[in-house]
Chain A
Amino acid sequence: MASARSYRATVQSIPNSVWTDLSASAARWDDGPMWSAANPTRLTTTASGLHIVGANVGFVAATGGRWARIMRGGDTRNVAMTAQAAGAGLVCAMSPSTLVDATAGDYYVAALYQNSGAALNTDSVVDHAATDFHLTTLPAGAVGARRESAAAQSIPNATWTLLTLDTTVFDTSTPAMASGSTLVAPADGHYAMWAGAYIPAAAGIAGAYWLLIQAGGLNVALSGPGSSIGSATAISTTATRYLTAGQVLTAYFYQASGAPRLLDTTELRPYLAAARIGP
């Protein structure tokens, strides 16, 4: 099992309205090496298999919107995204995270975007979580799956709507976890689960957006409201739970913009992922 967590010791200036890769200055730990000063924006897998990839980033307090994304090198579609409106005197902190099934040598990059109107620094006040980026191999024996939606799904206004997932990105479990729009726990054990979705910019988008994961019909992960910034928004959520074999995971989306909204499939396909970490 290998793991690395890179970080930036100083603030990083993020230009206005330009996606900018997080550039780390060192690693808090690195079993790989997965991070190098030669490629400071990357975390590179050293072995094939399931990985958790995530970022913990923040901006200094200002107005406007903030986005964070994680993408595999060479891809055009993200594996995780989150977006938030900023203001109210709060630092804007985001923690996108997800499960990936990587091939040794794959690398991942985290990037930030903001539209405050001017360049904006990452936060350096709230301890040291401002620009951390982590990649961790799951232990041998862990199994997992990720289901996505390749078709744009319309979410009615003010209605909790089941995410319709039609594509299995990976499923390493036997028996399979993927089952329609759900993931089914193959055995008793401790699980981590992720869900995410992206709403592209459109007229009248301002409003509130929520995402939740249910396990056995009970809410286990919630996140929102996604955005009221009048621009594209993204929500991700994560949870860990003990599940018994056969328990079903589902993801639901809710929005209150006043009109139906289409979920994006270009920047980020709606997804539900889960991994059995251990007994």
Chain B
Amino acid sequence: MARCELALTDGPLVVSPAWTTVGRLISAKIRRGRRANEGADQPGTADVTLDDPTRALDPTNPGSAWAASLTPMRQMRVVQTLADASTEVLFRGHVAEYSTVWRPTTETTLACVDRLGYFGTRRLADTTSYKAAVLADSPLSYYRLGEATGSKVALDSSPAGRHHTQMRAGIPIGSLVRRWPGAVIADPDAAASLEKGSLWLSPSALPPAGSTTFTLEFWVRKEGDSALQLIHIFPTSIGDTSINILEDGRLRVSQSTGATLTTAVSIIDGEWHHVVWKSTASNVTNTISVDGTVVSGNLNACTISAALSHGISVGPYDVDEWTWYTSLLSTARIAEHYRIARGRWGGAIGHRSGTRINLCLTDLLGVTGSSVAAGVEDVATPGAGGGAEKILSDSAASHLYAVAAVEDGRLYATRAGVITFAARPLLAPAPVAAYANDGTGLRFVHGQPSRRRADIVNHAEVARDGGPAQVVESAASVAAYMRHDASSRTGAYVDDAAAYAAAGRAVRKGKDPVTRIDQLVVNARIGAAEEASVAVRELGDVVSVRLTPPSGSPLDMTCVVEGMSHDIDTGRRWSTTYDLSPLIVPQTPAVSAYAAPDQAVTGTFARITPAHEHYDTANFHTPMLPASLTVPVAGDYLIVATAQFTATSAGGLLVAVVVNGTSRALSSFLHNSGNSTLACAPTVYRLVAGDVIEMWAIQTSGGAAAALFYDAYSPVLSAVRLG
């Protein structure tokens, strides 16, 4: 049987509430994880209906014992009592809505969400908080620089509305180029760079004449090692003042007097950096801070003159959140601005690491309530495969899912309400349960093979650029129950044959057709064993399923529980549906590529093009680089290059494994009595993702270019990752 317990807590996120059972005869529809045929995880939901004859749970009943406590986002949980009187939590979340029906028997329905669903109701509070924080410090002018590309006007977001409208005489006005993402994480406002000209602000947007105390705050992002001037301010009492990026990436405030103030670290890394320059009347405590690290030093007196002008220079950098203050921003406020903009969900991005999602969760929860169960991989390589997030989400939950996707993992709330991140691919051990409808495993009611259309299995489209003979080949084959798309439109092929060859390779990369089992329906009341098995299942569990049709061979599959639904009707009827996906055990990164047709080899050491594949489990091969194998993931690789040279009687053959342009293994043979020559060069080499493996060869028969055979024994370049 099942019972529903509603906790009375003083807040929705209290970790250890005192649970009070409020109903034991419930109906419930619980949905968790990913539904069949859906491409994304979703927050869990539970609609719990209770007979409520006394209207104890009716929030419209002022006499209810619970009326004062019934507020949205109270915690709730559904607990199942098993045959042996033990209990299992089936769902834990928060009450989102109430619905009461007055009928002869009054019912109250609680619409509940799990903790991820709770975040689904929360907008990202930080989307405007940076702006709010800036405005709270009463800026003179505040340019967010999120204008559309082409705009020649920078809008002032301060109450004064000192929009940029002027240009400096004689200098063409620059137009803005919108840059995404901006410096403030979770803020849809973009940043800008300048295209041509300069962006010169009007005097009204600047500290007034006579000012000796002011603060300039902005964010900058730059790649490349070219020095440039960011900002130019003039005239002041000491002439011009500028802020520059030095060639080594440090920032320097320079005055016409020759006085300078230089930061210690480089900002040239393609990341956003927070820069604050404070000029004081005392003239001895000028400071410039980068990401909160302050450098102080003496600069000459800098009293702003009446005809002050100020500009942002054109250059290969992005700038954002450009703000003038006529006061000195305190160190605490600078730190707060930085924290709001970057600190909440910052941190290193680690592909499959769980680092970023854990930061997000910790920040959102504010308590230690999350569990990161990542199959840790590549933690030590920030940015590997991650890239910049594009935070356009309108809720914290959708942002979390986006971050989980960035980290190549799945995000879900467990039965007990713990938000969990698990990296993909799911490196599952042996299945934790076996379901079968032939008596060899836990019974189920119905297994649902995939209903996906069986029209296309493999499909490839490859385009050749240029000329009227554009080639678009669609190679398709048909088989049952699986669709695999392999599309590549990035290749620029020199002729039709190359385009067709690429299409062929893409098609061959398709998987063999298999029959999938998408859903499994279990009647949990059919036996104690099934009941217990159902109760303890969790999203991400690996189960084996045997589905034996009325005639024919059984279908055996190992599956991952992607989604789970319970339909409970007052404890009398109860069915559970698992939404399944096939467990895909990742193959060892390995490739075996061969060259065909015959490739001419000359007396010049030259690259062989093994453009065809025996197999390629990790996309070593790309259509754009048919002669190369690009290492997909770091590791030690066994690499072998072999080739058979056409029969000749003079000279010799040398074959090499070349890594990033350097030979790492060679093998040579002299030609002999008109016999074929076969060279084999194996080696083990430590590689990182992106390294390029090639096969090179030379022959010294002295004659014209001769062929490496492809028919009897092709030139082969293979690699396999050793763990």
Which residues on B sit within 8 Å (CB–CB) of A221?
A: 640, 642, 680
Q: How distant is A57 from chain B, measured CB to nearest CB, in Å?
A: 9
At the interface, yes or no: B529 with Cβ under 8 Å from chain A? no
**8 Å CB interface, B554-613 against A:** 585-588, 590, 592
Contact yes or no, B640 A238, CB < 8 A:
yes
Which residues on B sit within 8 Å (CB–CB) of A142?
A: 723
Contact yes or no, B686 A240, CB < 8 A:
no
Contact yes or no, B662 A95, CB < 8 A:
no
User: Given A95-B666, A190-B720: A29 and B686 within 8 A (CB)?
Assistant: yes
Contact yes or no, B672 A56, CB < 8 A:
no
Q: Contact check: which of B651, B654, B670, B680 meets A237 at CB < 8 Å?
A: B680
A1, A85, A142, A224: residue with the most chain B Cβ atoms closer than 10 Å: A224
Which residues on B sit within 8 Å (CB–CB) of A94?
A: 666-668
Contact yes or no, A54 B682, CB < 8 A:
yes
Q: How distant is A255 from chain B, measured CB to nearest CB, in Å?
A: 11
Which residues on A sit within 8 Å (CB–CB) of B651?
A: 88-90
A: which residues have CB within 8 A of B?
Answer: 1, 3, 5, 28-29, 52, 54, 56, 58, 84-95, 97, 126-129, 132, 134, 136, 138-140, 142, 189-190, 192, 207-208, 210, 219, 221-225, 228, 236-242, 256, 277-279
User: Given A225-B675, A279-B588: A241 and B614 within 8 A (CB)?
Assistant: yes
At the interface, yes or no: B719 with Cβ under 8 Å from chain A? yes
Q: How far is B592's CA from A93's CA once the two chains are assembled, in angstroms?
A: 23
Chain B residue, CB-CB nearest to A93: B666
Q: How far is B135's CA from A64's CA once the two chains are assembled, in angstroms?
A: 84
At the interface, yes or no: B183 with Cβ under 8 Å from chain A? no
Contact yes or no, A239 B640, CB < 8 A:
yes
Which residues on A sit within 8 Å (CB–CB) of B201?
A: none
Going nearest first, the 9 A-B pairs with the smallest beta carbon separation are A139-B723, A278-B588, A93-B666, A238-B682, A127-B663, A88-B652, A225-B672, A222-B678, A97-B682
Contact yes or no, A93 B668, CB < 8 A:
yes
Chain B residue, CB-CB nearest to A194: B682
Q: How far is B654's CA from A126's CA once the two chains are assembled, in angstroms?
A: 11
At the interface, yes or no: B683 with Cβ under 8 Å from chain A? yes
Contact yes or no, B590 A240, CB < 8 A:
yes
Q: Is the interface of A mostly helix, strand, loop or mixed?
A: strand
Tier of interface size on chain B: 35 or more
Q: Contact check: which of B636, B638, B654 meets A240 at CB < 8 Å?
A: B638
Contact yes or no, A56 B588, CB < 8 A:
no
Chain B residue, CB-CB nearest to A127: B663
At the interface, yes or no: B227 with Cβ under 8 Å from chain A? no
Q: How distant is A46 from chain B, measured CB to nearest CB, in Å?
A: 14
Contact yes or no, B718 A52, CB < 8 A:
no
Q: Contact check: which of B587, B650, B663, B680 meets A128 at CB < 8 Å?
A: B663
Q: Contact check: which of A52, A89, A223 meets B684 at CB < 8 Å?
A: A52
Which residues on B sit within 8 Å (CB–CB) of A132?
A: 664-665, 683
Which residues on B sit within 8 Å (CB–CB) of A241?
A: 592, 614, 718
At the interface, yes or no: B19 with Cβ under 8 Å from chain A? no
At the interface, yes or no: B669 with Cβ under 8 Å from chain A? yes
Given contacts A94-B667, A95-B665, A128-B663, 17 further A-B contacts (CB under 8 A): A54-B682, A85-B669, A88-B671, A90-B652, A94-B668, A95-B666, A95-B681, A129-B665, A129-B666, A136-B722, A138-B723, A192-B720, A223-B680, A225-B678, A228-B673, A240-B590, A277-B721
Contact yes or no, A225 B722, CB < 8 A:
no
Q: How distant is B31 from chain A, measured CB to nearest CB, in Å?
A: 34
Q: Contact check: which of A126, A219, A277 meets B663 at CB < 8 Å?
A: A126
User: Given A5-B684, A95-B683: A225 and B669 within 8 A (CB)?
Assistant: yes
